Structures are given as C-alpha cells and as structure tokens.
C-alpha cells in the first residue's frame, strides 16, 4: 500500500469527522439562508469575499447564484469581490491590502445588501475591515470561519464556524455549507410565483456532451 493510499485514508477519515460536526450548525444555516433569501427577494445583492482558497470559494458561491445551482431560474445578483485583479491591485497599492474588500463594500454596498465573508483562520484583517464597512453601511453579514473563529467571530450577524485544525478539511466543510445554502435558497426562491429580479421564463436547454454545471 503506497503513501498516497495512506494519505487518502487519513483525508477521508478527517473529512468525515469534520463534516459530521456540521450537524450542530443547522440553526445557524437556517438564519443564513433566511438572510440570503430576504436580500434577494427584496432586490438586494450578495457581495462575497475571501483570500486564497477562500477567494476561489467566494467566486464559486457567487457563480451559483448568477447562473444556477440545480434548476433553471432567474439570475440573482452576486459579486465576488476577489475577482477583479486591476481593482484589487489598485486598492492594495493605494490604500493597503487590508482595504481591498472594504473599498469595494463602500463602492457597491447598499442598505439591504448582504456581505458574505470566508476565512479559515478568522484572522484576516481585510475581512474584518470589510465587515466593519458593511456594518457602517447597514448591510447584513455572514461569515464562514474555521478553527476557533479568531478575531472575526462575533462580528457578523451569522457565524458559520467549522472547528478543526487543518485548513483543507475546513475548506471542504465550507464548500458543503455553501452548497447547502445554494440548494436551500434556490428552492425557496423558485417556489414563489414572483421573482425580485429577472422575471423572464427559462426553458430547459439540452447540454452539449461533456458540459456540466460549474464545479
């Protein structure tokens, strides 16, 4: 049995333990889903941010709302604040890395919008600054955290804390939580006759071989 096999077994065991620990977050997930639903139903938008792997998760999450998760339905407004290289480098160069997300919250955020932040350590200063800016502008907030939540815990309206020591397992758990929220909110929104944004009817379109939903 090779080294990769041992690593795989260890990773699966660690992932199983971490994912099973998420069951206690059901109440927090319900609150988070409610915030997202209320925001989109009232015509607001989602602003999503994170650093590194969490930036990729932020992009993934925003994409699921703009395009779709499981079913064809109207597009919902979601912006990944980690996606524009020119904007990020300009803000970082002129105001410092701590301000790269807060500056965008100041530019795009309106009362009724929702800021969603991901940080596995809970110690990212630019996430803290984004949350502070959101609060000043009367945005609701959700955080996806890891370990003990760091200095960020308690700053948001809803904290989704994955307790664990390995960043990889925390990120995997964050992905599952993001997917649960996508499915929950999508089912709630398409179950109503009226949509807060694009009301054009969508028809199921045949897919080309090899193409699937964004992964």
Is the pLDDT at 208 greater than 50, yes or no? Answer: no
Q: What confidence tier does 195 reach under pLDDT thresholds 50, 70, 90? A: very low
Q: Which domain holds residue 144?
A: 15-190
Higher model confidence: residue 127 or residue 198? 127
Q: What is the pLDDT of residues 69-123, one digit of tens each?
A: 998 999 999 999 999 999 999 999 999 999 999 999 999 999 999 999 999 999 9
| Cβ pair 102, 129 in contact under 8 A | yes
Instruction: List the alpha helices (DSSP H) in the chain.
Output: 3-20, 26-41, 53-66, 85-95, 102-108, 125-136, 167-190
Using the predicted structure, report yes or no on whether residue 188 has a pLDDT greater than 70. yes
pLDDT at 4 (0 to 100): 87
Indicate whether 212 pLDDT > 90: no
Residue at 176 is within a domain? yes
Tell me, yes or no, whether 8 lies in a domain: no
Residue 130 has pLDDT above 70, yes or no: yes
Whether residue 207 has pLDDT greater than 80: no
Is 210's pLDDT higher than 90?
Answer: no
Separation CA 174–CA 182 (nearest Å): 12
Q: Partners of 79 in the beta sheet?
A: 47
**Domain-embedded: residue 93:** yes
Q: Is residue 142 part of a domain?
A: yes
Does 197 map to a domain? no
Count up the domains in the chain and report the number: 1
Question: Does 199 fall in a domain?
Answer: no
Which is higher by pLDDT, 67 or 197? Answer: 67
Q: ∠ CA 201-195-33 to the nearest 5 degrees?
A: 125
Residue 140 pLDDT? 98
Asked, for residue 60, whether it belongs to a domain, the answer is yes
Which position has the token pair 């970082």? 92
CATH number at residue 37: 3.40.50.10490
Q: What's the predicted TM-score (pTM) here?
A: 0.86
Task: Name the average pLDDT for the chain.
Answer: 90
Helices (H), 42-166: 53-66, 85-95, 102-108, 125-136
Q: Residue 47 pLDDT more than 50?
A: yes
* pLDDT at residue 206 greater than cutoff 50: no
Q: Does residue 121 lie within any of the structural domains?
A: yes
SS3 content of the chain, % helix, strand, coil (to 5): 55, 10, 35
First-to-final CA distance of the chain: 31
């Amino acid at each position: 049995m090779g080294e990769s096999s041992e690593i795989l077994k260890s990773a699966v065991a660690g992932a199983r333990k971490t994912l099973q620990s998420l069951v206690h977050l059901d109440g927090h997930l319900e609150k988070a889903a409610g915030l997202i639903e209320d925001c989109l139903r009232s015509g607001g938008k989602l602003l999503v941010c994170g650093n590194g792997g969490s930036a990729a998760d932020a992009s993934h999450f925003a994409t699921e709302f703009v395009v779709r998760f499981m079913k064809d339905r109207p597009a919902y407004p979601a912006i990944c604040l980690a996606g524009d290289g020119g904007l990020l480098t300009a803000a970082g160069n002129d105001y410092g890395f701590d301000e790269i997300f807060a500056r965008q919250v100041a530019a795009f955020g309106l009362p009724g919008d929702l800021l969603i932040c991901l940080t596995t350590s809970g110690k990212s200063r630019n996430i803290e600054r984004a949350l502070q800016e959101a609060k000043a502008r009367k945005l609701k907030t959700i955080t996806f955290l890891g370990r003990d939540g760091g200095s960020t815990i308690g700053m948001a309206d809803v904290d989704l804390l994955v307790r664990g020591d390995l960043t990889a397992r925390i990120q995997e758990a964050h992905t599952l939580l993001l997917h649960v929220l996508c499915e929950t909110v999508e089912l709630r929104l398409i179950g109503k006759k009226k949509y807060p944004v694009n009301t054009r009817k969508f028809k199921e379109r045949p897919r080309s071989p090899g193409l699937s939903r964004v992964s």
